[in-house]
């Protein structure tokens, strides 16, 4: 039986969560409204939830230069899918090895992985390695490999999940039946680890979708620009839009310089908002289970 005090606390908790949710949604709402605001009004009065004049000018300009944005969307999808798949494969394989406490030198291996969470070689050394040694500049791998492909946080998260949520008896019974480590990993570990793999997949996918820094550092070829790289170019200089879109005849005065940023951001963020609800249940379960210290 729920007491009156518990009911009051639950009601108060619901009110607080509703307010926090509203505060989280208000910036997205302003983004959408601003993208439909007349550019002159936005320049004069700034962004508002109740603009004086509505306009589809920003979206009309996106449609008129659709080839650029479609290509950017295509590159973003390819990079996100490729990076996501490779991230899950490499992270789960590395975490599986690190979860084995009986491997000689496993503590040192764990220490090396954790060390990368605290220290790194810096941007200059990283850039020189990727450009001069790995030769990934102006290739699709420049958008996949640096910084995002695999990180220590995800590895530790998955490792802890393997150690805490998959009993050692399962491994022993599989070995008795003649299964090798690869078969155990594919047939037992992966099916039992859907929540944590979905969690790191969601985090990795969002990171790839939102990434613009790798394009800034390693990409000069505009045909390899992702949608976020295009948005970053627009944010740096509105005149870059005419160059990216090939609209050489367009002047800066012709461009919806303020609202175009919001329109491109709204178009870029829409897929993430649509996909997240399907992974939400895995995200909460996997993050909590994988964060338990092993």
Give per-residue pLDDT as tens, 7-58: 888 889 899 999 998 898 898 899 899 989 888 888 888 888 888 888 888 8
Q: What is the spatial distance between Cα 226 and Cα 258, in angstroms, rounded to a whole number?
A: 21
Q: What is the pLDDT, as a whole number, of residue 243?
A: 60
**pLDDT score recorded for residue 259:** 83
Q: First CA to last CA across the chain, in angstroms?
A: 38
What pTM was estimated for this model as a whole?
A: 0.81
DSSP designation for 79: H
Specify which residues 54 forms β-bridges with: 37
Confidence (pLDDT) at 281: 66
Torsion of CA 172, 176, 180, 181, to 10 degrees: 0
The two structure tokens encoding residue 78: 């390819």
Among 67-76, 185-194, 258-267, name the one with the lowest average pLDDT: 258-267
The lowest-confidence range among 76-80, 163-167, 190-194, 231-235 is 231-235
**Among candidate residues 150, 151, 147, 152, the one with its CA nearest the CA of residue 110:** 152
Q: Which range (81-90, 99-108, 123-132, 277-286) has the least confidence?
A: 277-286
Q: What's residue 65's pLDDT?
A: 76
239 pLDDT band, cuts 50/70/90, is low
4-35 and 259-290 helices, crossing angle to 10°: 150
- The token pair at 51 is 């603009």
- Coil, helix or strand at residue 276: helix
- Burial of residue 150 (number of CB atoms within 10 Å: 0-12, 13-18, 19+): buried
- Tell me which residue of 265, 272, 260, 248 sits closest to 63, measured CA to CA: 260
pLDDT tens for each residue of 193-229: 888 898 888 889 889 999 999 999 999 888 899 999 8
> For the domain bounded by 66-290, which CATH number is listed?
1.10.3720.10
**Domain map of the chain by residue range?**
66-290
* Nearest CA among 180, 187, 157 for reference residue 95: 157
CB atoms closer than 10 angstroms to residue 108: 9
């Amino acid at each position: 039986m729920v007491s009156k005090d518990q009911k009051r606390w639950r009601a108060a908790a619901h009110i607080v969560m509703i307010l926090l949710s509203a505060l989280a949604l208000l910036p997205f709402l302003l983004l959408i409204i601003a993208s439909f605001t007349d550019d002159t009004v936005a320049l004069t009065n700034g962004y508002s939830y109740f603009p004086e004049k509505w306009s589809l000018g920003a979206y009309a300009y996106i449609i008129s230069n659709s080839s650029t944005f479609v290509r950017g969307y295509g590159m973003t999808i390819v990079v996100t899918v490729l990076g996501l798949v490779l991230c899950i494969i490499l992270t789960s394989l590395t975490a599986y090895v690190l979860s084995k406490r009986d491997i000689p030198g496993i503590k040192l291996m764990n220490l090396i992985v954790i060390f990368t969470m605290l220290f790194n070689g810096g941007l200059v050394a990283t850039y020189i390695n990727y450009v001069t040694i790995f030769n990934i500049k102006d290739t699709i791998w420049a958008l996949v490999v640096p910084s995002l492909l695999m990180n220590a946080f995800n590895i530790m998260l998955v490792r802890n999940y393997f150690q805490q949520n998959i009993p050692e008896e399962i491994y022993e019974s599989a070995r008795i039946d003649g299964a090798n480590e690869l078969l155990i990993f594919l047939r037992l570990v992966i099916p039992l680890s859907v929540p944590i793999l979905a969690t790191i997949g969601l985090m990795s996918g969002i990171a790839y979708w939102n990434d613009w820094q790798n394009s800034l550092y390693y990409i000069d070829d505009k045909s390899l620009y992702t949608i976020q790289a295009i948005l970053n170019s627009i944010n740096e200089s509105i005149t870059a839009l005419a160059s990216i879109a090939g609209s050489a005849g367009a002047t800066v005065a012709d461009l919806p310089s303020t609202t175009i940023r919001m329109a491109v951001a709204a178009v870029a963020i829409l897929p993430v908002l649509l996909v997240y609800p399907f992974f939400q249940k895995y995200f909460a379960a996997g993050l909590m289970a994988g964060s338990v210290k092993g």
